[in-house]
Structure 1
Amino acid sequence: MSPFTWFETPWGPALRCEALEPHARHVFTGRGLDLPHADEGAGWETLSNWLGVESSHLWRLRQVHGITVHTEAVAPCDGTWPEGDLLATDQHDVALAVRTADCVPLLFADPRTGVVAAVHAGWRGTVAGAASRMVEVLAVTFGSRPEDLIAAIGPCVGPESYEVGQEVVDAFAAAWPHEAARGTWWVPRVPPGKYLLDLWTITRDQLAAARLDPANIHLAGLCTVRHAALLHSYRVDGSSAGRMVAAIRPVRTPA
C-alpha cells in the first residue's frame, strides 16, 4: 500500500508521504495551487506561508534538466533564480521547492541529521543520476548515511504513458549498462524504435544502488498523464501546462 495520502490545504487537495511526515513538513501540490512558470507570485506566497518560511527562504531554481546541486543560500538575481535541479539544506528556517509536470519530483529526509533535499529529474537528469548524486551530496556535505535516508517519489509520468525514442533508451543503456540489462526499465513498442520508459522503476533502482534501504523508498504511483484532472502534465496540456511543486522544510530536531 502506498504511504501517500491526500489532505486538504488552503489551496485544495495535495499529497504527502506519511513516512516523511514525522521528520519534515512537505507537500506535493496538484492542480489546486496556481503556480505558473513565473518564479514569483501569489501562489508562491501561499506556499511559503503554509510551510512557515519567508518567501525569500523558499529556495527554488531555474531548472535545466541537469544534476547541479545547491546546498548554500540561493536567491534570485535580477529576478532569475540560479540554474540547477537539486537542493539540500539543514536550515530550519528554509524550505526547498522543485517544479514538475511529468518529470520526477523526489524529496528526501534524514531523521538522524535533520537534513532534507528536493530533486527535479526528467529523463536527462535521471540518465545523469540525479537521485544518486543527491545521496552522495548528503553524505559528503551533511554526514548522512544512505541507510538512514527516507525518499519519496511523487507523481510523475507513469510506465504505461511515457513513450520515448531510441536515443533515450540508448542513453540509459550507455550510462547504466548493468541495471538496464535487467530488462525492467523499458518495454519495446511497435513500430520499432519506440519504447515505454519506466521512470518509477528506474528511480527506485538508482536509489537502491545508492544504498538506500528499499523499505525507505516510497512511490506515489500516480501517473500525471492518467490523472491529468488532478495533476499537471506537459504531455497532456503541452506548452499551456501548469506546474506542480514538491516542497519540503526541515522542522524536526535530529535524532
Structure 2
Amino acid sequence: MSSAALHRDWLQPDWQLPAAWPRVRAFMTTRAGGCSDGLFASMNVGAAVGDEPARVQANRNHVAEALGAPLVFLKQVHGAEVQRLSHDLLAASQPPVADASVSATPGLGCAIQVADCLPVLFAAPGAVAGAHAGWRGLAGGVLENTVAALCAAAGCAPGELRAWLGPCIGPQQFEVGAEVLAAFGRSPAQPGGEFVYRANAAGEARWLADLPALARLRLRAAGLSHISGGHWCTLSEPSRFFSYRHDARTGRMVAVIGLL
C-alpha cells in the first residue's frame, strides 16, 4: 500500500527519531478531509456512532492509505489492556477488546479513536504503539502497560521511547468530581497541581483536571524523558475536533502509527 498525502489540517508528532531506527509514520486526523456529513462531517472513523457505514469505511480507507499500511482498530472500553498486533487480526470478525496496541510488524498500523480522551502515540527502535487514555484508562495503568509491552516488543528500555500526546479535552474545560480525584489517589483536601478546584454553578464541588499533565506524570514515572504534544483542547475547538462533551452524538478522530 503506497502512502497518500496527509490532509493539511491533520497533526503529526514533532519528535526527532534517531536516523538508525526503522522508518515510522504517524499522524492524527481532525474533522477535516473525509466524506461524512452532518454531525459527522467529515473525517469520522467511528463505526458505532450512527454514521453511514460506507462513509466510515471510506474514511478509514483514506487514513490507511495516508499511513501506507492497513490499520487494526480496537474495541476500546476505557480499560488498560494492550493488544499485540498481527496480520491475522485484519481478517477477524470482531475487533480486539483493548485500549492500546503494539506493532512490531512493518506495514501494520495501530489505530486509536478519540473524541475528548487523550491519544498517545509511541515510537521505539523497531516497534510502535498507541494508547487510548481517558481518565479511567490513565488511572487504570494503560500507559504503563503500553510502555511495558512496547519495551518487550522492541527489546529496549523506557528511556529510549518517544511519546506524543494528541488533542484531548483541555485543563480549562475538563470538569470532574471527587471520584476522579480518588481514582488517582488524591483527596479533595490535597488534589495536587493536576486538579484545580472550581465549584459549578450550583455550588457543588468540582475540579478541573489536566489529562496531559497526568499522562506526563505517569510516563515520566515509567521512565520516559522524550514526551511532546498535548497542547490542543478538543472541547474548545469543536469545528476542528470531534468532542463528545460538546455533542454526545458526534464522530471520532483517529491517531495512527506504523513502521514502514
* TM-score normalized with structure 1 length: 0.84
Which one of the candidate residues 183, 188, 206 is aligned to 1:194? 206
SS of the aligned residue for 1:234 comes to coil
What is the aligned partner in structure 2 of residue 88 from structure 1? 102
**1:104 positional shift:** 0.5
Which one of the candidate residues 192, 198, 213 is aligned to 1:183? 192
What is the aligned partner in structure 2 of residue 49 from structure 1? 65
Percent of aligned pairs with the same residue?
Answer: 34
What is the identity, as a one-letter code, of the residue corresponding to 1:139? C
What is the aligned partner in structure 1 of residue 222 from structure 2? 210
8 Å contact from structure 2 (residues 111, 256) kept in 1: yes
Taking structure 1 as reference, are residues 117 and 167 closer, same or farther at Cα in structure 2, changes over 3 Å only?
same
**1:171 positional shift:** 1.2
State how far apart, in whole Å, the 2-side matches of 1:92 and 1:236 are.
37
What is the aligned partner in structure 2 of residue 4 from structure 1? none
State how far apart, in whole Å, the 1-side matches of 2:150 and 2:121 are.
12
Bigger Cα displacement from structure 2, 33-42 vs 217-226: 33-42
Aligned counterparts, 1:122-141, within 5 A: 122-141=134-153
What is the aligned partner in structure 2 of residue 25 from structure 1? 25
What is the aligned partner in structure 1 of residue 52 from structure 2? none
State how far apart, in whole Å, the 1-side matches of 2:16 and 2:103 are.
15
What is the aligned partner in structure 1 of residue 90 from structure 2? 75
The CA RMSD measured in Å over matched residues stands at 2.2
Total equivalences in the alignment: 231
What is the aligned partner in structure 1 of residue 175 from structure 2? 163
**1:182 positional shift:** 7.5
State how far apart, in whole Å, the 2-side matches of 1:152 and 1:71 are.
20
Residue deviations 1:28-84 (CA, integer Å, cap 9, x gap)? 11001322421761011111111112xxx3111011001111113223643x31111
**1:170 positional shift:** 1.1
8 Å contact from structure 2 (residues 14, 228) kept in 1: no
State how far apart, in whole Å, the 2-side matches of 1:248 and 1:85 are.
15
8 Å contact from structure 2 (residues 14, 229) kept in 1: no
State how far apart, in whole Å, the 2-side matches of 1:12 and 1:147 are.
32
Structure 1: tracts of 5 or more residues without a match: 1-7
State how far apart, in whole Å, the 2-side matches of 1:97 and 1:76 are.
16
SS of the aligned residue for 1:108 comes to strand
Residue deviations 1:124-171 (CA, integer Å, cap 9, x gap)? 001012111111112234312111100000000111100011111111
What is the aligned partner in structure 1 of residue 9 from structure 2? 13
State how far apart, in whole Å, the 2-side matches of 1:103 and 1:70 are.
19
State how far apart, in whole Å, the 2-side matches of 1:211 and 1:10 are.
32
8 Å contact from structure 2 (residues 46, 253) kept in 1: no
